A and B are shown apart, each in its own frame.
Chain A
Amino acid sequence: MKFALLDYHASNMFSLIAAFKRLDVETKIVTKEDNFNEYSAIILPGVGNFSSASDITSDCKEKILACVDKGVPLLGICLGLQVLFESSSEGDGKGLEIFEGDVIKFPPHVKVPHIGWNQVFPLMNSVLLKGLENKNWVYFAHSYYPKPRDESIIKGITEYGIKFASVIEREPVFGTQFHPEKSSATGKSILKNFIEYVKR
């Protein structure tokens, strides 16, 4: 089992690679020119800015969508979750438009970036948050959050000034606004749940 990690150039993927390695999953950094077909899952990692990520994902949008159509699991983390939507107020460029809705900034009355540990409250039948009802502290580092048009894809909610969607799922596509690779034991369980799903 090997996961593809899409490279946005600017993003730091070392921690994510290390986290999968600790769970015995091999990863390979892929660029937009590469073939995505040989991987068991695609990971869109999480650091950088929407416009620059959008430049990369737009160039390989058809390839990613083709994999998703075939049922290849996709996991977007932080910014990687945001690019699954249509657009972002962070900057120009289109997302992958897998989900309807936009990415917007936190209201001015809260401190941004939202950096630190917060709780994710699982909704019914979440694949990623299975078994984590009481161990729900996860690590966030972001200024924008997704606002899905179809609320049924929201599987986890976090409160920071407002309530926002912190876990999105519509099989085989998943996304977390937080960083599971930085969320200690809880994050490890979430990545394990994803790996179990890939193995299903």
Chain B
Amino acid sequence: MPKAKRIIPCLDVDAGKVMKGKSFVDLKVAGEPVKMALKYSEEGADELVFLDITATIEYRKTLVEIVRQVAEVLDIPFTVGGGIRSVEDTYEILRNGADKVSINTMAVEEPAIITRLSKRYGSQCVVIAIDAKRSSIAPSGFEVYTHAARKPTGIDAVNWAKQVEKLGAGEILLTSIDRDGSKQGYDLELTSKIAENINIPVIASGGCGTPEHLYEALTLGEADAVLAASIFHYNEFSIPYVKKYLYEKGLNVRLL
């Protein structure tokens, strides 16, 4: 039996609060990252990703404090990403208990940072986030974007994925900009193209609306893990429900 496919809820943190959709009922609980993290962990999430969507200097301290509080109580792995622009930031986050940091723009601007980080802390804690968009100029058909998906780089997504693997990345968090927020399903062509060209795990992100989308990404998309936000946040589908669904479809998932 191979290792399990991972289900990873993503929590957007803004100014120290987890941001949730307006239809989420219990706003008080939703506001507290630590409680949210524990809730997902108890329901069987395999990992968590915290994405800092403020990324302003005064809230950096808040983020580190949240990382520390989460690490004190959470006994599953978690990744912190979003707006990390210096090596010092990554050290600070890892020292305070995060298992992995996810970097994007900084890696594109200075790829040598990937090697520095993986030499120091091990490749298992270096997640490279790739935001990709369909494009006619890229040979693979997908171009890398940085600066929260606003800035095209002209870099081919498949080539970049291969390069970050060589530089020492441990995993790739791959987001389809075209599908993000659409709930139309993951971009399976993007995910499988990247997965087939590298030998490190790929986490698919962007576009999940149903448990079937998760199944597609983990099979046709060849992803090792799936990241989803809204289907869990809006309580549309619970983690135990989707895990049972995937298990019954024959996938190897960790059941509690």
Contact = CB atoms under 8 A, between A and B. Distances in A.
Interface of A: 10, 12, 14-15, 18-19, 21-22, 47-49, 108, 111-119, 137, 139-143, 159-160, 179, 181-185, 187-188
A184 B41 contact: yes
B76 A15 contact: no
Contact of A111 (B4, B75, B199, B256): B199
Residue from the set B3, B4, B71, B76 with the largest chain A CB neighbour count within 10 Å: B3
23 contacts: A12-B97, A12-B99, A14-B96, A15-B71, A15-B99, A18-B97, A19-B75, A47-B125, A108-B199, A113-B200, A113-B201, A115-B170, A115-B201, A117-B3, A117-B4, A117-B46, A118-B2, A118-B4, A137-B4, A141-B170, A179-B77, A182-B99, A185-B256
Contacts of A181: 75
B6 to A, nearest CB: 5
Contacts of A113: 123-124, 170-171, 200-201
B3 A114 contact: yes
Contacts of B4: 116-118, 137
Interface string B28-50: 00000000000001000010000
B39 to A, nearest CB: 14
Residue from the set A10, A114, A184 with the largest chain B CB neighbour count within 10 Å: A184
Interface of B: 1-4, 6, 41, 46, 68, 71-73, 75-77, 94-97, 99, 119-125, 170-171, 199-201, 224-225, 254, 256
A183 B256 CA distance: 12
Contacts of A160: 2-3
A111 B94 CA distance: 24
Contact of B2 (A112, A137, A159, A183): A159
Contacts of B77: 139, 141, 179, 182
A116 B124 contact: no
B89 to A, nearest CB: 15
Chain A interface SS verdict (over half)? mixed
Nearest to B95: A12
Given A111-B201, A115-B124, A116-B3, 18 more contacts: A12-B95, A15-B71, A15-B97, A15-B99, A18-B71, A22-B75, A49-B119, A108-B199, A113-B123, A115-B170, A117-B4, A137-B4, A137-B254, A141-B99, A141-B124, A141-B125, A143-B123, A159-B1
B2 to A, nearest CB: 7
Contacts of B200: 111-113
A137 B3 CA distance: 9
Nearest to A118: B3
A115 B201 CA distance: 8
Contacts of B76: 139, 182-184
A137 B77 CA distance: 14
Contact of B120 (A10, A22, A108, A114): A10
Chain B interface SS verdict (over half)? loop
Nearest to B127: A115
Residue from the set B120, B124, B199, B200 with the largest chain A CB neighbour count within 10 Å: B124
A123 B3 CA distance: 19
A84 to B, nearest CB: 18
A115 B202 CA distance: 11
A113 B4 CA distance: 14
A10 B121 CA distance: 6
B212 to A, nearest CB: 22
Nearest to A139: B77
B95 A48 contact: no
A49 B122 contact: yes
A23 B256 CA distance: 21
A112 B118 CA distance: 14
A184 B201 contact: no
Contacts of A184: 41, 75-76
A28 B19 CA distance: 37
Given A18-B97, A19-B75, A48 B3 contact: no
A116 B46 contact: yes
Nearest to A161: B2
A182 B199 contact: no
A113 B122 CA distance: 10
Contacts of B224: 111, 116
